């Protein structure tokens, strides 16, 4: 088994990333780093749980390996499944269907916020894609920025098309926030624009980092979306 970093290595890395001797700066960096490590660990574990389920293993068998009760395993890994798509528009559903393919194109065995962001471009007539392009965030620019933060895996790591890719905890959370965003705008449906706004709920996620780096912060995105929706209403 390949050993992970020991405690001292982790502390040294956090201090280096903080770039400051200030105790609060280091604490903030530590909190962010640990949160990212936890999310990644949960996503990795969820991936292999999904593989075990796909191989026909029961929750009893899975819980035995994990050393928890069947109820605890089911609650953690089954009850955190993707939210209902009931309110999703056809375009938003298409984005969700495209996201695993985007992940595979990058040789990733999971669907993260970055894949949701890139999948928005598969629906060029959607409000989200139009806002992104109108604000100068081309698909290539976003893809390049994503690659700088989350490089592609090697070709031999590409998951097969028959494998169901698990969503990272952040991606699952983003989907849950889409309803809040829709209701906040007075909508009873969930469109691509609500998915775009939901990405900002996790500033540590790759998607939110990319959007910020490319100059589209949450307030600007929200105003651009409102303007686009108003223009669509006037055109009817």
Going residue by residue through the chain (236 aa), what tens digit of pLDDT does each one get?
A: 566 677 888 888 888 888 889 988 888 888 878 877 776 676 677 767 767 766 777 878 888 898 888 778 766 765 554 455 778 999 999 999 999 999 999 999 999 999 999 999 999 999 999 999 999 999 999 999 999 999 998 888 888 888 889 999 899 989 989 988 998 898 989 999 999 999 999 999 999 999 999 999 999 999 999 999 999 888 76
The radius of gyration computed from the CA coordinates of the chain, to the nearest angstrom, equals 19
Length of the chain: 236
pTM (two decimals)? 0.68
Q: Where are the domains of the chain?
A: 82-236
Architecture of the domain spanning 82-236? Orthogonal Bundle (1.10)
Reading the block at residue 216, the tokens are 């589209």
What pairs with residue 111 in β-bridges? Answer: 167
């Amino acid at each position: 088994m390949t050993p992970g970093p020991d405690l001292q290595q982790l502390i040294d890395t956090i201090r280096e990333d903080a770039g400051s001797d200030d105790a609060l700066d280091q604490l903030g960096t530590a909190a962010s780093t640990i949160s990212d490590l936890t999310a990644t660990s949960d996503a990795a574990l969820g991936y292999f749980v999904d593989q075990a389920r796909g191989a026909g293993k029961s929750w009893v068998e899975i819980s035995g390996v994990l050393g928890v009760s069947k109820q605890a395993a089911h609650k953690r890994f089954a009850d955190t499944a993707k939210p209902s798509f009931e309110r999703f528009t056809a375009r938003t559903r298409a984005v969700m269907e495209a996201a695993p393919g985007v992940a595979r194109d990058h040789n990733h065995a999971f669907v993260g916020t970055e894949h949701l962001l890139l999948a928005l471009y598969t629906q060029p007539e959607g409000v989200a894609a139009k806002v992104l392009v109108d604000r100068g965030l081309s698909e290539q620019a976003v893809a390049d920025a994503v690659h700088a933060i989350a490089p592609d895996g090697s070709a031999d790591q590409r998951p097969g098309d028959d494998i169901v890719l698990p969503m990272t905890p952040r991606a699952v959370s983003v989907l849950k926030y889409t309803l809040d965003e829709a209701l906040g705008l007075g909508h009873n449906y969930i469109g691509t624009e609500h998915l775009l706004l939901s990405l900002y709920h996790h500033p540590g996620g790759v998607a939110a980092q990319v959007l910020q780096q490319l100059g589209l912060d949450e307030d600007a995105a929200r105003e651009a979306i409102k303007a686009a929706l108003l223009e669509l209403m006037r055109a009817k």
